C-alpha cells in the first residue's frame, strides 16, 4: 500500500511569506492548498506549481468551514498534515489614534482568524497527527512605536500557540510559532496619521515613515529563504523540538534582547532608531506648558 500524499494549507498566500511558503511546500512534494481573499495574485501558484488556490477569509466562519469541506473533497480523505496560519493584517497607528474598526479588523484577522481556523480544521489535523504553525513576530516582544495593536495581536498569538501546544499533547499534534524578524513582504501599512493626531508635530513624517518601512529598509531576508527555513521547521516538528523558531532578519537577537538588556535601554534605542528624540521632547514641552496654563 503506497503512502498517501501529505497535505498542507497556507493562509494569507497571495503574497510575501504565504506565497513563498506555498511554493516551498509544493517543491517538496506536498499537496498544497493556498487560501487568500484575492485569487488573482495566486494564479501563478496554480499554473506554475500545481497549488490548489481558493478564496479564504479567515475572519469569516463560513469561509473557513468551506475550506475544510474543500480539503476533504479534493483529497478524498480527512487529513491535514500542515496548517500554516499566516494570514495577517497590518495596523501601524499610535494607541491614541487607532479606530474601533481598525483594531477590530486587526484582531479579527491576526488572532481570531487563527483561532477560528485551528478550531474548524482540528479534526483533520488530529487524524493526520499533523503540525500547526503560526507567523508570530518580534513585534510581539519588542515595543516598536506606533504598533500597539499589531504588537498586541502577535503577543496574543504567541501565548495562544504556547497553550495550544500543551493542549495538543494527547493527540500527538505538534505546534510551532515562527517568531519573524525582517522579511521582504508587502505588509507595509501605507496609511497616514489622522489629521487630529496628537503626534502631528514637526518631524513626525520622517519618524512615521521610518517605522512603516522598518523591514523594507533594513536588508530583510528574502521570502524564499524564509520559506525554506519554515517548511523545514514544519517537517522537523514531527521529531519534537521547541515551540519558537526565530526566522527573518535579526529575529533571534530581537526575540531575546529583553532577557539580557534592561527595558529602559531598549526603549531609548528605539526612540533614537525611529527619529523620535526631538518629537518626544517637543511633545513633552508642549504639554508641560499647556498644563502650566
* Residues noted as catalytic: 14, 150, 154
Q: What are the φ and ψ backbone dihedral angles of 26, each rounded to 5 degrees?
A: -65, -40
Distance CA 14, CA 80 (A): 20
Instruction: Mention every residue, 6+ apart, whose C-beta is less than 8 A from residue 167.
Output: none
The Cβ-side half-sphere exposure at 196, using a 13 Å CA radius, reads 4
DSSP string, 6-66: PEEEEES-SSHHHHHHHHHHHHTT-EEEEEES-SGGGHHHHHHH--EEEE--TT-HHHHHH
211: its cell numbers: 517605522
DSSP label at residue 214: T
Do residues 124 and 68 touch, judged by C-beta distance below 8 A? yes
User: How far out from the chain centre does Cα 39 lie?
Assistant: 20
The CA-atom distances, in angstroms, between 214 and each of 202, 225, 274, 282, 290 are 20, 19, 9, 23, 33
In the beta sheet, which residues pair with residue 57?
A: none
Amino acid at each position: 500500500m503506497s503512502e498517501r500524499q501529505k497535505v498542507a494549507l497556507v493562509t494569507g498566500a497571495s503574497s510575501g511569506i504565504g506565497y513563498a511558503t506555498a511554493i516551498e511546500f509544493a517543491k517538496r512534494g506536498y499537496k498544497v492548498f493556498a487560501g487568500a481573499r484575492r485569487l488573482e495574485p495566486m494564479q501563478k501558484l496554480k499554473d506554475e506549481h500545481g497549488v490548489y488556490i481558493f478564496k479564504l477569509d479567515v475572519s469569516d466562519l463560513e469561509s473557513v468551514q468551506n475550506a475544510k469541506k474543500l480539503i476533504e473533497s479534493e483529497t478524498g480523505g480527512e487529513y491535514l498534515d500542515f496548517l500554516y496560519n499566516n494570514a495577517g493584517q497590518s495596523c501601524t497607528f499610535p494607541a491614541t489614534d487607532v479606530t474601533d474598526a481598525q483594531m477590530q479588523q486587526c484582531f479579527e484577522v491576526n488572532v481570531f482568524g487563527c483561532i477560528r481556523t485551528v478550531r474548524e480544521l482540528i479534526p483533520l489535523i488530529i487524524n493526520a497527527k499533523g503540525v500547526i504553525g503560526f507567523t508570530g513576530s518580534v513585534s510581539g516582544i519588542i515595543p516598536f512605536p506606533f504598533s500597539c495593536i499589531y504588537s498586541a495581536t502577535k503577543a496574543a498569538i504567541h501565548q495562544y500557540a504556547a497553550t495550544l501546544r500543551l493542549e495538543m499533547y494527547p493527540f500527538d499534534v505538534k505546534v510551532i510559532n515562527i517568531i519573524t524578524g525582517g522579511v521582504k513582504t508587502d505588509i507595509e501599512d501605507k496609511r497616514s496619521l489622522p489629521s487630529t493626531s496628537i503626534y502631528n508635530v514637526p518631524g513626525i513624517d520622517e519618524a512615521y515613515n521610518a517605522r512603516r518601512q522598518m523591514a523594507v529598509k533594513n536588508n530583510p531576508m528574502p521570502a524564499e529563504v524564509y520559506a525554506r527555513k519554515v517548511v523545514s521547521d514544519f517537517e522537523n516538528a514531527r521529531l519534537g523540538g521547541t515551540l519558537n523558531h526565530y526566522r527573518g532578519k535579526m529575529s533571534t537577537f530581537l526575540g531575546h534582547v529583553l532577557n539580557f538588556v534592561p527595558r529602559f535601554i531598549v526603549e531609548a534605542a528605539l526612540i533614537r532608531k525611529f527619529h523620535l528624540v526631538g518629537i518626544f521632547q517637543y511633545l513633552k514641552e508642549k504639554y508641560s506648558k499647556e498644563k502650566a496654563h
